[in-house]
Each structure stands twice: as C-alpha cells, then as structure tokens.
Structure 1
Amino acid sequence: MSSSASSTCSHTDPRVKTTFEVVNWDAISSLACKHFQINSSHWGDQKSGGYNLVRFLHLHDTQNTTLVARVPLHDEESLDISISKRIESEVTTMEYVERYTNIPLPHVCHYSTDADGDVRSPYILMTKVEGIPLVSVWEAMDDEKRRIVLRQIIGVLLELWSHRFDKVGALFKHPGGSEGKDAWYIESSTVLANPTDTIGCQYNLLTTLFPHAADYWLAYSNAYLRNECETRFGYKAKAYSYAHGWFMRSLVPALFDPCNDAHGHPLSHGDFHSQNIMFTDLDTHPRLSAVIDWEFSGAEYVSTFGQYPFFIVDHPWWDEDHPLRERNVRDQATFDEILLEEERTRARVGGAPLSRIISESYGVYLFQQVMQFSREMYDPLFPRLVKHVLGEYGDFSYNYIRKTTLHLLSLLFLMYFDALLDNGILKKELARFDREAEAFLEARRVLGEEKVKMLIKLVEFKDLVLKELDQFSQEGSVVREWLVSVA
C-alpha cells in the first residue's frame, strides 16, 4: 500500500541512526494509507531533537496531505521505560485541548505506546500544521506585529489558565467509561521521568501530593539540603553550598503564596517557547496556526504557570548591557497591557488574576531556575536573585546595590554565608563538614586515592572505612572519631 521507506540517515547523535534502523517505517506508512483510504505515500524530510526523531510522510491523495511521524529516540541498549506513559499523556493532553479549547494544534491520527508491535517502537502519527516557528521571525518583527502576536499568545494562556485540576501532574484518560470531563485525571509526574528534576525524583517529591507550591518548594529545599549532606563527602566548599541552600529555603514563604493554588492547578504546556508556537500570514496580519510539542504537559502550580513566555525573558547569561534587555522590557509592558485588557472581557477564574501573578513572577522565575538547574552559588542566576531580594533597603542599600556589579553582590553574600557558618545558626553544620573533610583526607592518605574517590557519597565512604577499619588503628584517628559521631 505504501512506497519504500529507504533513506539515508546522517546525524551526530548515534540514537538517531539506531532509531531509524529499528523502526519499521513501511508499517507506519501502511497504517496512514489505510486510515486515509489511499494506495500509496512516500517519506520526505526528517529531523531530530533531544527526545524524538521526526519524519514527514507525504500521502498520494487529492489534497497532497502531509503527516508527521514522531518516534522516541532509542538507545542501543533499550528504550526508556517511561516513553509509553509519556506518549499516552501527550496524546491525552492533545485530545483534551482539541475538545475543550479553541487552541489550534496538530490532530493525532494514530499512535501506539507499544514497542513490540509491527512498527517496533512507540510513535505518534499526526497532521502537519501550517506556518513557521515564531522563533525564526520574532527578533526581526516590528512592534505592531509583536502586539498582534502577543495578543494571540495571551489568548492561549488564558484558555489553559481556565482549565483547573485538583493536583499537579500528567494528564491521562480513563479507558472507556464517561466522555465528560470526569474521564480525565491527573497522575504523578514521575511517570514521565523528566530528567531536569533530579532532586524531586531522587527524594520522591513528585509522588507526594503537595496542594500548594509553597509546600512543594519547602520540601524541595529540605531535600536539597539533605542531598548536600549525603553527597560530595569531604568537599571543602560544602559548607557554602549548604548555606546557599539554607538561604534559598528561607525565601519560600516570601515568594510562594499558598492562596494562589487554592482554586486548582491550570493546564500547562510543557515547553511553551517560541520554537513550538507556529504562525502564518507574517507579511500581513500574523495568525497563530498551532501550538505543537505537548510532551511533558500537565497540570502545574499557579506560580509556575504564571510567568512571562520565555522568548520575552532575559537569558540568564546575558551581560547587563545586552541590547535585547531593553526590548524585553518593552515586550513585557505590552504583554501586561494586553493581558489586563483580555482579562476584563473574559469570565474570571477563581483566585488572583493571571496578570497579577505574572507581574510578580520574576523572583519565582529566578528561584526555580537556581534550584532546579544551577547547583553552584557562582552561577549567573544567583546574583540576580540576590539583587532582586535585597531591593531598596534604605538609602544606603539602594545606592549601594544600584552601583554594585553582580559579581560584588556574590561577594557580599559570601560574607553573609561566612556569618551564618562561623558564629551563626549554621555553625554546627560547619563543624560537621570540617570534620568530614579531615576524615576524607586521612582516608585518602591511608587507603589511597584509588579507593577514596573524589565526590564520594557519605554512605559509600562509611561503608568503605568500616571495611578497612583495621587500617585506622593509630591513636587519634580522625576517621574513627568521625565514625563514633555518626554511629
């Protein structure tokens, strides 16, 4: 029923070649031909990203229909076990959005979560949408067209904002049964195995029901501190890293208002960035043609949802004088103005308006970026968070901060950390980490660097020195003293 899927495949990522060779492309094209009741088709271009391989299938019908076949990238050993759940949730979310909103998106023609079928891989077969990604035209777009684009993007956000769920997580649908809204339900995000949230996964935070973002981030901060204690045994700078986490935890009550989540959690796109927002008619009146890539979507905390789209947010590593900073200020002002207008014409959802949440989101944005993606205090994001937190604290503070570079702000917080550790509330932790560092150095001298690796975990170090305890028989052994302290 379909033409051969033979094609050349060249890519630096070895998973692309593996995936291309594993998948039975003829089986996918046959399914498409059967679905559209035609006799033949042929494969066109392909592309790949961090998670998937995409190929375009051209049907030989009167409309010259083009479909998109997307399959997850295969490692040589096996396919990630979370893939099936990820595809099921993505397809479910797309069905929900197609049914209950006016947001344009691709239509799923066929899909499978099974790696053992004729195709030999899970896949999604969907319609190809018109338009080009906003990312390719946004920077060159004039202010009037930007306003037209932002109004339509705000429309998408307000539609998603109006759909609330009772908890945070991935969206699924009960098989059979009711076709109403009660057919959909939320399941823990751990089924998606999002690799960016290592602390959350490691300490099972994503399997716990936290009704408010404040509860979640307090638990996350505590898990961060536990992780600091349990990893990188003997690391000299651990005390500062711990103080950094302690400071971040202290910000949670100021940044996250539990009342914001009292009316449920809005449906959120997993990567609402300009590369996934498609537009047409760019030369005349830009028209939103589709929002694509609903992978990792689901219900989110209000504080996570209520942030500016990333394409009008400063990149964390931009210099202070980066020319696009001024443009983003202008775009955000336009965004705020339009959002207020749109909110006045729509039925209000319970709780604080989205415009207020977003206008107060900068601190939340910086906090989440630092906690989830930036483990070191010297990262460019942390000084910006410090500057945001200190604000206009009296004339001296205001004038000092206004003239101080971000680097000097980092030095200022090093002094703050020193005060916490040397004589303040964290002095016991400092003594503990100093004792661990001494035990680590003694163990390396006695057992050798091959046995006592850098960045060893606490439990691994303890198991090692217990097995080699007879090597630490000398009087005053720091390792023996340390073992007594943790017994």
Structure 2
Amino acid sequence: MSPLEMKLEFPAATAPPPPDLSRPDSLFDAAATIAMQVFPDMTLTKITSFDSGVYNQLFELDLASSGGRSGERPILRVATVKKATSDISLESEVATMAYIKLYTTIPVPDVYAYCPNAKNPLGAPFVIISRMVGQALDVAWPQLSYDARVRVIQEYARVTSKLLQCQFPLIGSLHFGTDDSPIVLGDVSLRKMCADIRAEYEDYASWKGPWQDAAQWLKASLEDELQFMTKDSLKCQSWNDQVLVLDIDTIWPIAQRIIPELLNKWTPLVASDKWSKGPFYLGHADLSFANVMVDKDGSITGVVDWEMSSTMPLWNVVCCPPWAEDIELCDSFTFQIVYLDELGRLGLSDDIIDVARHDGWRRDYADG
C-alpha cells in the first residue's frame, strides 16, 4: 500500500473536540466510522483500551467479517492532548517503518491507515497498525529461561546489524517525499515539536536540522532547551506538571546552571571522535524493554514505537542496549559479552565493535 493510500483525509474543515481517551466506549462511533473506511468488508464490534502513555493511548479493535466471523484485531493508537493538533512525528514514524520494511528484515507493524492531524472523527492524530505477535520484553523477561534471554541479546545484535546497513550522510528523520524519491531525509522529528506549549514560538523551528555532524546536532538540541527555558517559566511549569511531575523550583536553577556547561564543555568532547562526522545510521531512539516483542524462546518478533526515530552517529546505534546494562550485575557483564561476540559473528569490523564496547557514555549523553 502506498503512503497516499495509507493516509486518510476527512471532509470536515475543523477538528472535533479532543476525545476522552479514558472511556473507550465514547470512541466507538468515531472508531467505527474510520474502521469502515479502512476495512470496508469488516465491522467494528468492540474497542478495548490496550495500553497508555504520556503521548499516546492504544486501543484494540475487534473486527468481524460480514458473516459475523471474528477477523482482524488491529491496534488504534491515538495521540493525547499533550500533543498539538498536528503530529509530524507520526508521519515520520510511518515513513520510517515503510523504509525498514523496504530495506531490512526487521519485523515492524503493518500500517493500515493514519491521519497526522486532528481533522477526523476522533479529533486527534491516529494510526492503525497490525498487532505484533509475542509479548513485550518487559512482560516476558521474568518468565524467560537463561538460554532464551541470551537469544534475546543475540537477536538484538542482529537488529543492530540491520540498522547499520541503513547509512545516511546527515542527521535527520525520514519523511515521505515524491514519486521519484518516495522516502527522503529531512527535519528531525521529536515529540516535543508536537507539543502545544512550543507551537506558539515562531523561532522554534530554527534547529530542526538536518545536521552534518554530531556536534551540530547536540548543540542545536541544548540551545533549543535554553531558548525554551528562557521564554516563559510559567509555561514550563505547566508543561512540567502535566508530563514530568517534578518540582520546577528545584530543577530550574540546576538546569540553568548545567545546560550551558553541557553545551560549552561536554558537547565538544562527546562529538570529538571520527564517527561523529558520519556516516550516520538509522536509529530507533527508544529500544526499551517495552518496545521489543519476543516469543517464549527469546526470538524477537517485533520492534514497535518508531516515533522520534532518526539517523544517528554510530555510537548512538551500536552500543549494548541500556536495559541489558541495568540487569543484575553478573548477568549484565555476561550479556554485554554475548552482544559483542554476536556483533563479531555477524561480520562487523573491529573498529565498530570497539565503539560498541567503549562508547556507551557518548550514547548516554546524547540520550540524556
């Protein structure tokens, strides 16, 4: 299915009120209208809350065929009011998954349809995707055998090796282009760009990239935070109360002192290696326990939530996953060795494996 066929547009000129995502039954009529357009031979019979986060709410759609037989059970992901009425990160995510399906064998959801703005029956940006088989790793891990856990680490290394086959000259995010270039590299796509609180700042768009090296990328991100902090502390307090639930009076003076130091001292150090100049590689941005699906044997059956993905320096993609480093100390050392050995078995060069072994601190700095 082409991007034009996946993207839905609705005739309404204005968006309806934001949905009450805490009441799935209140979404039924709107979801049924959309399902009728996406699955013309199926009927929505039930909508069930599946999972939730700060930025998105997930629902499972029970669909039945015209004969009453149960059929597809796709996932409807709806943006929460923490985002603005236009969700650029969603459109970039769909483009990224299309690219991954085209150029790798990494298992990602099928996209049935999406709408990147709120002008639809739901009153919020949404995407309908296939449900991946298996369990999220955060649920499955405690029940996995030791051998299955080792297999998870090995499979993660294989996912990494496939991402390293996707090389780019700049740091940015993937977007849909034209027929001649259906997927192109452009502005970086982050959730915070979709926040209503930032939408009113006209100069906010000045740092979106793409960038030629990691120093420009890190510097732009920190400068954006400084700009945002100095705009309106009350608005920052409001955003903080909704999203972070931290004491702004405590963190505000610390942030004002630390961010300039990070900008002027640490960023040049982090980006001083040769890999910070490129090439750059497609990265997930949040390969956490919750976004990796596995079966009972430890095989990875899906990688989900590609929102905010972008091209990144080598050290932001190849290093051992943070969750493997947070496991009990003895297992952590073992799993890191398993991961590095698997990268070698897959044919990655000694230079790249050396980055995976030693440069996790650069990755942690960029992620922080």
What code does the residue aligned with 1:153 have?
A: Y
Residue 301 in 1 paired to residue 304 in 2? no
Secondary structure of the equivalent of 1:335?
helix
- Is 1:32 paired with 2:35? yes
> For 2:254 and 2:45, how far apart are their aligned partners in 1?
61
Instruction: State the one-letter code of the partner of 1:70.
Output: R
The match for 2:107 among 93, 98, 104 is 104
Q: Structure 1: which 5+ residue stretches go unaligned? A: 1-14, 315-322, 373-487
User: Are 1:89 and 1:172, in contact at CA under 8 Å, matched by a contact in 2?
Assistant: yes
Aligned equivalents of 2:191, 2:255: Cα separation in 1: 33
Aligned partners of 1:249 and 1:239: how far apart in 2? 16
Residue number in structure 1 paired with 2:3: none
For normalisation by structure 1, the TM-score amounts to 0.57
Q: Is the 8 A contact 1:160 1:268 kept in 2?
A: yes
Q: Deviations over 1:33-52 (max 9, x none)?
A: 45444352322420321111
- Which residue pairs with 2:292 in the alignment? 277
C-alpha contact 2:62 2:70 (8 A) present in aligned 1: no
Counterparts in 2 of 1:259 and 1:35: CA distance versus 1, 3 Å: same
Post-superposition CA distance 1:158-209 (Å, at most 9, x none): 111111223222210114x22xxx432222226643599x9xx998673355
Corresponding residue of 1:287: 299
8 Å Cα contact 1:277-1:291 kept in structure 2: yes
Q: Deviations over 1:240-299 (max 9, x none)?
A: 97589547744445433452144422111131111111112x1xx332211111111121
Q: Are residue 362 (structure 1) and residue 360 (structure 2) matched?
A: yes
Give the drift of 1:302: 2.4
The match for 2:338 is 334
How far apart are the structure 2 equivalents of 1:239 and 1:172? 36
RMSD over aligned CA atoms reads 3.8
> What letter is aligned with 1:157?
T
Report the Cα offset of residue 59 of structure 1: 1.4
Q: How does 1:353-432 map to 2 (within 5 A)?
A: 353-368=351-366, 372=368
| Contact 1:56-1:67 within 8 A present in 2 as well | yes
Rounded to whole Å, the distance in 2 between the matches of 1:130 and 1:222 is 41
Residue 98 of structure 2 corresponds to residue 95 of structure 1: yes
The answer for the alignment partner of 1:211 in structure 2 is: 212
Structure 2 counterparts to residues 51-450 of structure 1, below 5 A: 51-61=55-65, 62=69, 64-74=71-81, 80-83=84-87, 85-175=88-178, 177-178=179-180, 182-189=181-188, 192-193=191-192, 206-217=207-218, 242=257, 246=261, 249-280=264-295, 282=296, 285-314=297-326, 324-343=328-347, 353-368=351-366, 372=368
Query: Aligned partners of 2:285, 2:42: CA distance in 1, in Å?
Result: 37
Aligned residue type for 1:69: L
Q: Does the CA-based 8 Å contact 2:60-2:75 persist in structure 1? A: yes
Unaligned segments of structure 2, at least 5 residues: 1-17, 234-249
Question: What amino acid does structure 1 have at the position aligned with 2:148?
Answer: K
CA distance in 2: counterparts of 1:239 and 1:27, whole angstroms: 45
Alpha-carbon distance, 1:134 to partner? 0.9
Q: Distance between the aligned counterparts of 1:81 and 1:92, measured in 2?
A: 19
Cα 1:129–1:31, aligned 2, differ >3 Å: closer, same or farther? Answer: same
1:208–1:258 distance in 2 versus 1, CA, 3 Å: farther
Identical counterparts, % of pairs: 18
Alpha-carbon offset, residue 132 of structure 1: 0.5
Per-residue displacement from partner, 1:29-84 (whole Å, max 9, x unpaired)? 34434544435232242032111111111111356321111111126xxx61452x
Query: Structure 1, residues 210-251: CA drift from partner, whole Å, max 9, x if none?
Result: 32213444566778899999999xx9x979975895477444
- Is the Cα–Cα contact under 8 Å of residues 96 and 174 in structure 2 kept in the other structure? yes
Q: 1:68 to 1:341 in 2, by over 3 A?
A: same
Give the counterpart letter for 1:273 in structure 2.
S
Q: For this pair of structures, how many residues does the alignment match?
A: 326
Taking structure 1 as reference, are residues 60 and 244 closer, same or farther at Cα in structure 2, changes over 3 Å only? closer
For residue 8 of structure 2, what is the aligned residue in structure 1?
Answer: none
Cα pair 1:213 1:303 within 8 Å, conserved: no
2:208 is matched by which residue type in structure 1? T
Name which one, 1 or 2, has greater alpha-carbon Rg. 1
Q: 1:307 to 1:39 in 2, by over 3 A?
A: closer
AA of the residue aligned to 2:150: R
CA separation of 1:308 and 1:242: change in aligned 2, threshold 3 A: same
Give 3-state SS (helix, strand or coil) of 1:308's partner: coil
Higher relative contact order (CA 8 A, sep 6+): 2
